[in-house]
Homo-oligomer: A and B are copies of this chain.
């Protein structure tokens, strides 16, 4: 599958730590950010009503490898590519690019769930959503 989608993010002061670099946990927030903008670009939302169900995407795994630091005001490109759209799950990778050079690689898998009465239950990805994610 070859879907790719990019946003850029300028590293905020609040995202740095006393080592003078972006704190590693922020990469996971950014990973989610590009994912959600990807959903938006498809006319979807990670928190949406679909045929009477409230559909969400809790994560089952998330990981990141770090190849070099990012600093305050660095403009990082977050380039996401869909890796797999399974029956119930959705996997993608994110390249973190600084001036075209990969400084980190993120991976995550989410599961499509309905939320009813505070309970999450995994469900097959609805066909209309699957179709958009797979394009």
A residues in contact (CB < 8 Å) with B: 12-14, 16-21, 23-26, 28-29, 32-33, 36, 40, 45-47, 56, 58-66, 69, 71-73, 115, 118, 120
CA distance A120 to B19 in the complex (A): 10
CA distance A46 to B11 in the complex (A): 13
> Closest chain B residue to A107 by CB distance?
B63
Which of B32, B56, B63 interacts with A19 by CB under 8 Å?
A: B56
Contact partner, A32, options B13, B21, B66, Cβ 8 Å: B13
Note all chain B residues with C-beta closer than 8 A to A14.
17, 23, 25, 29, 32-33
Which residues on the B side are within 8 Å of A32 (C-beta)? 12-14, 24-25
A120 proximity list for chain B (CB < 8 A):
19, 69
Q: Are B47 and A29 in contact (CB under 8 A)?
A: no
Q: Which of B23, B40, B56, B63 contacts A61 (CB 8 A)?
A: B63
Of the candidates B17, B19, B23, B59, the one whose C-beta lies within 8 Å of that of A66 is B59
